[in-house]
Structure 1
């Protein structure tokens, strides 16, 4: 196994159906609200890349889906006063992670190429400045991705990456691939760990998880149908380093160590 190897992640069966669910009437209202929010976002055109607009639209999508958001720790992802951008590293549970993080602070996102092909959402992602990669591509492509990240950070752009490279049903799953941390080392940029978690009615939940070969529409239906579903983003203290192995290990400890609640049946790391 090499530093480039992608873990297989959780199977789709790890994503639990929401309990309790909203009534059908409320589900229809949420779909209508989501359609309105996405239509308005599309109408913004290139203005969607403006931080205030992007944050507002991310919060509107969460609101349309009935998903609450709690932010703990720092109130922003990028590091104040840094001369370069911030490499934000978070665990990966769902497509909803990106929306939750953008609702905290609009930054660029490194996402799998398939996201750019999703109807409407793909177009919005491109306009928001998302950087797409082939998650299952050749390892020879990864040095180029690292170089692109390095230049983005040197240019002052903050970028969210998911070093687990695939989704798990809770924050406690998966290794952190070290490659992306090299970009922060080369750019002299801070690394900001963030923990993303989801709860329903106050209890840890996998209802928001988007796993395996599941279709996006199935995951969306589960999220929209969940009553009292909430996301929590814990923004940890920034860290610097000159060794990508040490940075990756320290970031993973931060992500798992502050409030990350294991969910039953999560595969062992």
Structure 2
């Protein structure tokens, strides 16, 4: 891995743990099967969905993505709503990154073309389907590939697409301040004259169990996906919250670093109200 890539201090033993209320293994296994089946069904239906118009496709995507999150036993809370598309450049959606759950959660509210690491393109079945669905791929280990990625994002925005980016470039457990927003994708918004839509993702359980719930959803470090899936379906009362902030016109901020910093501070603006429990202060 290149030394310039961001690294999160979060680890599975320290952050991705759950000691709150737990489901019995049998209903948890049923949720796991239901969630995986619905996720795979949606992926396989991608070629059919592409035949629909944008509005119908977005409504179908929202319904499917919401269903996936609920099928895994996670409640959904939405605060705010994205602006309706009125033509012209698209919107760059930027969010903090806690879990694999972030992807269907955001798609349930702000469906768009996701920026993903290039490795996914080579996954059996899901890789070709992701490419067919408009996923934008980035070679994170190759710094020289970055200008091409920025150009691809800007082109998608100019065409009116919504592009979803996790600018921390790594998952963080949701406790503490999180990672710095990398500025590259924000240059694409500036080039395209697009707006930036900050989105905050958080995971909660019962009020007394906030720390445990956040750990159940966290997918960090070298945590195996199977272990994370099982942890989520076993965690009773897990709630995913997505907060859609006011969009920031890229033209009102001078430079990509300032724009990235403003988006980052907007997403993190009320984290001071959360419990300051963290293993990596």
1:237 aligned residue = 246
Equivalent of 1:125 in 113, 121, 130: 130
* Deviation for aligned residue 1:119: 6.1
Equivalent residues of 2:46, 2:133 under 8 A apart: no
* Deviation for aligned residue 1:43: 4.4
Equivalent residues of 1:48, 1:127 under 8 A apart: no
2:170 aligned residue = 166
Equivalent of 1:247 in 252, 259, 265: 259
1:70 aligned residue = 77
Equivalent residues of 1:7, 1:164 under 8 A apart: yes
2:35 aligned residue = 34
1:264 aligned residue = 277
Pair 263,16 (structure 1): closer, same or farther in 2 beyond 3 Å:
farther
**C-alpha separation between the residues in 2 aligned to 1:238 and 1:20?**
37
Equivalent residues of 2:43, 2:126 under 8 A apart: no
**C-alpha separation between the residues in 1 aligned to 2:132 and 2:275?**
35
Q: Once the two structures are superposed, what CA deviation does each residue of 1:167-196 show, in whole Å capped at 9, x if it has no partner? A: 100162111111111001111110111100
Pair 120,32 (structure 1): closer, same or farther in 2 beyond 3 Å:
farther
**C-alpha separation between the residues in 2 aligned to 1:125 and 1:94?**
18
Equivalent residues of 2:93, 2:163 under 8 A apart: yes
1:216 aligned residue = 225
**C-alpha separation between the residues in 2 aligned to 1:167 and 1:46?**
30
Equivalent residues of 2:32, 2:230 under 8 A apart: no
* SS of the residue 2:228 aligns to: helix
- Is 1:55 aligned with 2:54? no
Equivalent residues of 1:6, 1:166 under 8 A apart: no
Q: Once the two structures are superposed, what CA deviation does each residue of 1:138-186 show, in whole Å capped at 9, x if it has no partner? A: 2111111001111111111110101100010016211111111100111
* SS of the residue 1:66 aligns to: coil
Equivalent residues of 2:16, 2:218 under 8 A apart: yes
* Deviation for aligned residue 1:25: 1.8
1:178-217 alignment, distance < 5 Å: 178-202=183-207, 203-204=210-211, 205-217=214-226
User: Structure 2: any 5+ residue segments left out of the alignment?
Assistant: 51-56
- TM-score normalised per structure 2: 0.85
Equivalent residues of 1:87, 1:184 under 8 A apart: yes
Pair 223,85 (structure 1): closer, same or farther in 2 beyond 3 Å:
same
Pair 35,211 (structure 1): closer, same or farther in 2 beyond 3 Å:
closer
* SS of the residue 2:108 aligns to: helix
* SS of the residue 1:163 aligns to: coil
**C-alpha separation between the residues in 2 aligned to 1:263 and 1:167?**
18
Q: RMSD value over aligned CA atoms?
A: 2.3
User: Structure 1: any 5+ residue segments left out of the alignment?
Assistant: none
